[in-house]
A and B are shown apart, each in its own frame.
Chain A
Amino acid sequence: MSLSAKEKVIVKDFFAKVSSRSDEIGAEALARLIVVYPQTKSYFGHWKDLSPNGAPVRKHGITVMGGVYEAVSKIDDLAGGLLNLSELHAFVLRVDPVNFKILSHCIMVVLSMLFAEEFTPQIHVAVDKFLALVALALAEKYR
């Protein structure tokens, strides 16, 4: 399942449109991840504060969203463009790839909440595919 040229435009346009709130999206998505899927907290044992509205969670959500935007800019070659991030996740973080899907869902719930009118089914499918491909690119070096 690869992105068509049209879908790449949809994804780039949509993320450009919502970029002014990207920090909020990231923070909110990560907060939801740890509340709705508490098993994901297992990756953050090194944080003193695991409250969803606490500073570490929000800051990390912003970091993750930054990664998503980097992926948007490398949309024509995700595996190549995200090589550093892929190596990070494979050799250092070793996040089970099932969590990429879960986080993608949380990101899309937040997009739907904040941009109800804009997040139409057509945009939803393109973003869903895009995030799935980002997940694949991140898992590229796992084994």
Chain B
Amino acid sequence: MACKVTEFGAVREVWAGFSLGHETCCSLRNRVDSTKTQRFVIGCQQENAAFPYPDTGVILTFQLSLLFLVVVELITNIFFGKRELDVSAGGRKRIMMMIRRWRRSGDFLRSACKSLTSLRQKHNSMSPSVSGFVNRYESKGKTFESNAWNDHNRELDHHSCVGGNLWMMQQYKSFGSSSSSASKLQRNPLFSSLEPRDVSFFNEILGGEKYVVQDEERLETANTDWMHKYKGSSKLMLLPKTTEEVSQILKYCDSRSLAVVPQGGNTGLVGGSVPVFDEVIINVGLMNKVLSFDEVSGVLVCEAGCILENLATFLDPKGFVMPLDLGAKGSCHIGGNVSTNAGGLRLIRYGSLHGTVLGLEAVTANGNVLDMLGTLRKDNTGYDLKHLFIGSEGSLGIVTKVSILTQPKMSSVNLAFIACKDFLSCQKLLVEAKRNLGEILSAFEFLDNNSMDLVLNHLDGVRNPVSSSENFYILIETTGSGETYDREKLEAFLLKSLEQGLVSDGVIAQDINQASSFWRIREGITEALQKAGAFYKYDLSLPVEEIYNIVNDLRGRLGDLANVMGYGHLGDGNLHLNISASEYNDKLLGLIEPYVYEWTSKHRGSISAEHGLGVMKANEIFYSKSPETVALMVSIKKLLDPKGILNPYKVLPHSFFSP
């Protein structure tokens, strides 16, 4: 607050306050009547959201009368007091009070407006995070028309809710140090702490210390996520062997209000598989049996702890393949894949897990075992509840068995590694590939020059298949049953693209070894990122034509501070945006977030295409989902898990569950 309140300054303040209030009313009105443009244009994508707000006429009258009073006071000061405004302590104080009153009136009016679901955000104090960065959500897409008011207004904004949206959300992010990046969450005091009697109970039902792990070293690994970004402080890890044991564990934990974290291969990239505080880890790794496999229909029924690669190896001699494939296949569990609705490299061909999972068995928070383990391709009896669990990231129940439809293995696999000059060519190539390669297309990935350089620098035994260095590289894989036919089709398509100038250079793998080396480049980017130092990882779904624009924009924004890389499943419109720097840096983080989320939101994208929300993006869900939808999600969560013991602090915004 300025110490010296000049006459003009005060008026400016007052005017800002007024316009703030005014524009709030107007934007409220804009919800219904969006034709008027105001001083601050706020684009709201929830144009049809209908929620109660007090009559704008009432508000306007109220504000106007307050303004009148303030102006009167100012005028009396000027005319009947000194020429200048009374800037003595007393006078300053009075003016400050006036303005504060003004602001409070605005706040009051806003709090008077009822939110749609009465699940209102708490008005926490606006203490900024360690990074000095305070974020609040407003309606998607916001442009400030008037620049003169910008800087000033931003300060005001911190104390008010600008725009038509009535939620105020704050995040606290601190990726301050790479070793422990706990968010500024508070441990929910409603959860109990672990006691010796709990441990002895678990010992009893699980049958010994082998399955009740309290060893420091093992807990250290279980508490830390794959990227070493999130670290919990759990004191206990349980290794159940059967669904019955899982059920008993959860029943007990629910009765004792002990929070739990379901854990599989711990390869998640958003901190969803590790505890935030001292939640008990339930690792299903010992439940790794294949229960049955039907060689005619291709339906595989297995326990949730089966490692994906092992399942693929099991299916290979039988002539089948798993419908998903991802870089983490050597460690990830199928239960985890299902719980996070993993995408992967072959989604373009086999579809998402929502389509290929035929059934699952899950245990809810109170120990109830839901047997939805159907093996039928079609079953329209009632609500298909398994879809709730697929992608719920362990927050609705622990998946214990999975029934999945596998695909026949096709012998003819061809892989081409192509270089393109610009992103427009990549897009056109995608369209052409879908049309010309059609049914045999099984993967379409892209990576940019920076990613290629990173991989070449940090991984051994990798060379660029294409002799020249280009801006973009594309991997096209085809899988079919006729070797010669597929080969010719791919060659014809690529040669035509070469002639048309879409492709500047490319190679076709001649054997499986060459194919693996091409895949190594694409799949090794994450590994190379780890070796290169600190990295910030984002997983966005965007319209294909926009995908690379965000990379360019972010590059311009960050300049020399960091190396921005874009790669991903171009065929699915999924970008993996990664920013590599020498060390973690809050200033850098502040430049990246929420810019990335807002950019994505503006283009109607998803802030998490396949990685899920976990703990990293738990509070950002509103960038991609409407408040009504989220409210329903919260209701479902509270229905299935009233005490909130399953994977707390994740997936859904924290404020819905804090006491």
A and B found bound together: no
Interface residues of B (CB under 8 A from A): none
